[in-house]
Amino acid sequence: MKRGAGLWLLSLKGLRRDLRASDVRALFVALALAVAASTMIGFFLDRLDRALTRQAGQLLGGDIKLEQSQPFDAELRRELEDAGLVLGDQVDMVSMVSRDQAFQPASLKVVDDAYPLYGEVHVELGKQGAERISQVAHGPAPGEAWIAPRLAQLLDVEIGDTLQVGQATLSVGGLIVREPDQGAGFASFNPRLMMHIDDLDATGLIRPGSRVEFELLAKGPPEAVASVDDLLGRLERNGVEVSDVREDRPTLGSALERAEKYLSLAGLAAVLLAGVAVAMATRRYVDRHLDTAALLRCFGATQRQLTRLFALQLLWLALSASIIGALLGLAGQAGLLALLTRFLPLELPPPGVLPLLLGIFTALAVLVGFAGPTLLRLKRVSALKVLRRELDPLPASAWLVVGVASLVFGALLWLYSGDLWLSLGLLLGGLVALVVLWALGWALLGGVLRLAGRWSAGQGGGSQALRLGARQLARRRQASLGQLLAFAVTFAAMAIITLVRGDLLTTWQAQLPADTPNYFAINIQPGEREGFIDIVDDAADSRTALYPIVRGRVTAINGQPPRQVVPEESRSDNALRRELNLTWSETVPEGNRVVAGQWFDADVGRPVNASEGQPVPISIEDGLAERFGVGLGDTLSFTIGSAEITGEITSLRDLDWDSFRPNFYIVFPPSVLERFGHSYITAFHLDDGNRDMLRELIATYPSVSLLNVEAILGRVRELLSQVTRAVEFVLAFVLLAGVSVLYAALTASHSMRTHESGLLRVFGAGDRLISRVQGVEFALLGFTSGLMGALLAELAAAGVYVGWLDLVPRIHWLMWLVLPLGGALAIGVIGHALSRGVRRQTPMASLGLLGEA
């Protein structure tokens, strides 16, 4: 008797018929929006992430980089090659390079034929014109050297000349414009010389005791990289420095990072809104299908058949909505990327299939979570309902609905954020907020009812409508409360996404004012200070202070070897592996904020004799302090040259690394570091018209390095404006999802309102009165939910700012005005317009006096 195929067919037919009903359309729109939002953002972040990983591989020189002070053995090479990795050798060292009588230290990079594993070298190869820059995927040939233009200038050589590297003579084959594997920062002050590994022996530079870094670079598919994890761990324990794109990815600018988080947040908000819409639409869907279910029961359908029928029907709905949503999402992410790739020098991998599956999964999860408990009601319907209409199965308990929906949404949060504790925190916070809102809503509705009672005195049309509307709303407390909460959550989600957007943009704009430095000058010698500043100040619009730089390595934390003391995840931190730029300053550096402790007293200006073992006060950047696991009162010891100096942390500073100013992890008070060799750094902003000054600077101070960050600055500016557009694009999406909730909710209460207006009309109410009563009811609903939404949004926004986006929370007064009034207006107008059809019906029809209601 039961036929599987029959049910499938029936469910499909049912869906087709159902698409005529507004609740099913609302369900469809809500699910499609949820999928569109999550796939759009998922596709986008996935592609961006893979592109950034690829770029990271390029900056690192490979997917894996191994470094040690002696050559790597053949067995290790074989093991890596067997795993499917392509290898490249590289040797780094600093050596004197000479031509005739000119000597200059250069940073040597010795490469093999595999170089570069990723990307291309931008190099000027010929003599014919200075603009002939080639992009080549190889290094210099044996016998050749490619050098940085600055080295050419310092040694006064041109392409075709020869120069001396150790005992080898190499001919200059090219001028390096850009290396693909060139990390940011000022790690190397010496100009570059690149040569072939075959010439290395001839230089005679590799001797016992010489400071040479041997590097083994490996490239391969992610599976191959993952398969050598154990090996990498073993190497790391044996003292090999291991870098891995998966961990050592350069951090994005905080703007892009925040934008990524914002997008995830917006995606989740859209999913939540869609969930609320689904929950609202499902109630109406179930109410409407109780009759169908009862009839089918009557005609002999089993509970199992009913469950399968409706489950299948909704499955089709979810799948078709997913496909539409995924297509929208695919188009949307293409739009987002089009906005972003113009300035991100990324090779974009094609969209992966994972976000698509994730999107479909999201639709199903939202359906199960937000509609499931309500749908079970259909199964429990009694066949007897066909004879006795009042026999509706009890609606699912509100707590069950909220509970299951929260669980599912929490799981989605976890899935999307990958952070269990954050998800749990948000979930619990959300539930507590819901309980509070529930109680608040209950009290508010009670208040409205009492107020409505007092209004009874007035007999004008307006006050009568106000009284009736308020009473209608307040009397159906349970149903109204559901709507109130749904609207409050909707308004809150829309408001949060709007607020965060505004605050993000303000922060970004404040971050890079017009006179943000576009040049950095480094390696200014103490004797050159005055003259250099004079030239710069004549032409530049703004200049930061001159900061001294002393290079030193952290050798102890609280007297212990650093790697033993810092948290495990910080053991390979760059700040421990490299020398740090240390500075001193009497005052807090520009753009820095002391967040704990005290800045140096004026009297620390006295000479400090560090060798006495008395720690000197130091100030540390709070991010580094966190990574090192240190705070006020802890000590750090530094090796500077051959001396050792210990500092006690007396203040923590917060600073903005994207500020285009010289920034320092560690600041000493004056009179401590002066005795060590130091140079100065500054940054300034130069207008296009004043560029001539640069030539004068280079000619007068040839050893000073000038770094033009105009291009980077321009890219960051453009990034911000493009990210802004992306953020606005996504905001529009969330607002759309919000509207879908309104639609679904108003659809859900349709039948109830039909009945009420029918009754009012039977009792003699005119069109005008009914219209006003409904308007009042919707407006009150909008006002109250706007008020509750503002509260929820304020709390949630504060949490998101502090916990996730790293912004300072503030109270948004305007929102407290806009949400209630806007809510009253929006719901009043939309609800009133949507229920026009209801008012047009005759009482006979609206009360169901003519047969089928």
Establish if 811 lies at the interface with another protein (CB under 8 A): no
Q: The tokens 């219209």 sit on which residue?
A: 771
Instruction: For another protein, give the closer residue by CB, 171 or 382.
Output: 382
Element (H, E) at 339: helix 303-341
Minimum distance of another protein from residue 2's CB (angstroms): 8
User: Which amino acid, 252?
Assistant: L
Closest by alpha carbon to 137, among 115, 155, 157?
A: 115
Q: The tokens 């009839």 sit on which residue?
A: 295
Mark out the alpha helices in 228-253 (DSSP H runs): 229-237
Minimum distance of another protein from residue 7's CB (angstroms): 8
Residue 320 in tokens = 């078709």
Establish if 303 lies at the interface with another protein (CB under 8 A): yes
Instruction: For another protein, give the closer residue by CB, 10 or 474.
Output: 10
Minimum distance of another protein from residue 292's CB (angstroms): 6
Piece in contact with another protein (CB under 8 A), picked from 3-11, 164-172, 421-429, 497-505: 3-11
Establish if 297 lies at the interface with another protein (CB under 8 A): yes
Minimum distance of another protein from residue 297's CB (angstroms): 6
Establish if 842 lies at the interface with another protein (CB under 8 A): no
Q: How many other C-beta atoms are found inside a 10 Å radius of the C-beta of residue 804?
A: 18
- Counting other chains too, the contacts that 843-849 makes at CB distance below 8 Å and 24 or more residues apart are 843/758, 843/759, 843/761, 843/762, 845/758, 846/754, 846/755, 846/757, 846/758, 846/761, 847/755, 847/758, 847/759, 847/762, 848/755
Of residues 335 through 394, those in contact with another protein by CB under 8 A are 382-384, 386-389
Question: Torsion over CA of 532, 538, 539 and 542, rounded to 10 degrees?
Answer: 80
Residue 269 in tokens = 């908000």
Minimum distance of another protein from residue 298's CB (angstroms): 6
Instruction: For another protein, give the closer residue by CB, 1 or 808.
Output: 1
Establish if 136 lies at the interface with another protein (CB under 8 A): no
Instruction: For another protein, give the closer residue by CB, 298 or 436.
Output: 298
Answer whether 623's CB lies under 8 Å from 219's CB: no
Instruction: For another protein, give the closer residue by CB, 464 or 749.
Output: 749
Instruction: For another protein, give the closer residue by CB, 591 or 848.
Output: 848
Instruction: For another protein, give the closer residue by CB, 69 or 303.
Output: 303
- Max CA separation in the chain (angstroms): 111
Minimum distance of another protein from residue 749's CB (angstroms): 18
Residues 6+ apart with CB under 8 A from 755: 846, 847, 848
Q: Lay out the site mask for another protein across 383-402 (x = CB under 8 A, - = otherwise).
A: xx-xxxx-------------
Establish if 20 lies at the interface with another protein (CB under 8 A): yes
Q: Which of 129, 208, 300, 607 binds another protein (CB under 8 A)?
A: 300
Q: Lay out the site mask for another protein across 305-324 (x = CB under 8 A, - = otherwise).
A: x-------------------
Answer whether 200's CB lies under 8 Å from 91's CB: yes
Minimum distance of another protein from residue 30's CB (angstroms): 20
- Counting other chains too, the contacts that 758-763 makes at CB distance below 8 Å and 24 or more residues apart are 758/841, 758/843, 758/845, 758/846, 758/847, 759/843, 759/847, 760/468, 761/843, 761/846, 762/843, 762/847
Instruction: For another protein, give the closer residue by CB, 385 or 753.
Output: 385
Establish if 1 lies at the interface with another protein (CB under 8 A): yes
- Report the C-alpha gap between 337 and 348 in whole angstroms: 9
Answer whether 494's CB lies under 8 Å from 500's CB: no
Piece in contact with another protein (CB under 8 A), picked from 18-26, 257-265, 333-341, 457-465: 18-26
Piece in contact with another protein (CB under 8 A), picked from 161-169, 303-311, 599-607, 695-703: 303-311
User: Which amino acid, 13?
Assistant: K
Piece in contact with another protein (CB under 8 A), picked from 7-15, 131-139, 606-614, 635-643: 7-15
Answer whether 122's CB lies under 8 Å from 242's CB: no
Separation in Å, CA 544 to CA 612, 660, 665, 783: 34, 10, 17, 51
Piece in contact with another protein (CB under 8 A), picked from 98-106, 294-302, 515-523, 618-626: 294-302
Minimum distance of another protein from residue 384's CB (angstroms): 4
Establish if 6 lies at the interface with another protein (CB under 8 A): yes
What letter would DSSP give residue 560? Answer: B
Minimum distance of another protein from residue 377's CB (angstroms): 15
Instruction: For another protein, give the closer residue by CB, 134 or 303.
Output: 303
Element (H, E) at 665: none
Of residues 250 through 289, those in contact with another protein by CB under 8 A are 288
Establish if 852 lies at the interface with another protein (CB under 8 A): yes
Minimum distance of another protein from residue 304's CB (angstroms): 7
User: Which amino acid, 44?
Assistant: F
Separation in Å, CA 24 to CA 20, 279, 572, 744: 8, 12, 55, 9
Answer whether 843's CB lies under 8 Å from 850's CB: no
Q: Which of 298, 319, 422, 795 binds another protein (CB under 8 A)?
A: 298
Element (H, E) at 67: strand 64-68
> CA 102, 103, 105, 110 torsion: positive or negative?
positive
Q: Which of 12, 13, 443, 762 binds another protein (CB under 8 A)?
A: 13
Residue 752 in tokens = 């109830």
- Report the C-alpha gap between 148 and 98 in whole angstroms: 14
Q: In DSSP terms, which residues pair with 622 in a beta bridge?
A: none
Minimum distance of another protein from residue 16's CB (angstroms): 10
Q: Which of 125, 159, 295, 698 binds another protein (CB under 8 A)?
A: 295
Instruction: For another protein, give the closer residue by CB, 4 or 460.
Output: 4
Instruction: For another protein, give the closer residue by CB, 22 or 164.
Output: 22
Side-chain half-sphere of 331: how many Cα atoms within 13 Å? 7
Minimum distance of another protein from residue 846's CB (angstroms): 12
Q: What are phi and psi of 206, to 5 degrees?
A: -85, 105
What letter would DSSP give residue 245? Answer: T
Q: Which of 21, 177, 512, 545 binds another protein (CB under 8 A)?
A: 21
Q: Which of 299, 421, 763, 813 binds another protein (CB under 8 A)?
A: 299
Minimum distance of another protein from residue 309's CB (angstroms): 9
Establish if 752 lies at the interface with another protein (CB under 8 A): no
Establish if 208 lies at the interface with another protein (CB under 8 A): no
Q: What are phi and psi of 71, to 5 degrees?
A: -60, 150
Instruction: For another protein, give the closer residue by CB, 17 or 342.
Output: 17
Instruction: For another protein, give the closer residue by CB, 10 or 620.
Output: 10
Establish if 613 lies at the interface with another protein (CB under 8 A): no
Instruction: For another protein, give the closer residue by CB, 291 or 622.
Output: 291
768 CB burial (10 A radius; 0-12, 13-18, 19+): exposed
Number of residues that bind another protein (CB under 8 A): 34
Q: Which of 3, 450, 593, 768 binds another protein (CB under 8 A)?
A: 3
Instruction: For another protein, give the closer residue by CB, 127 or 388.
Output: 388
Give the three-class secondary structure for 508: helix
Angle between helices 254-298 and 398-417 (to 10 degrees): 140
Q: Which of 15, 286, 301, 440 binds another protein (CB under 8 A)?
A: 301
Establish if 239 lies at the interface with another protein (CB under 8 A): no
Q: Which of 134, 162, 302, 690 binds another protein (CB under 8 A)?
A: 302
Q: Phi-psi category of 583—alpha, beta or left, where left has phi over 0 and alpha has psi -120 to 50?
A: beta
The residues of the shown chain that bind another protein, judged by CB under 8 A, are 1, 3, 6, 9-10, 13, 17-18, 20-21, 288, 291-292, 295-305, 382-384, 386-389, 850-852
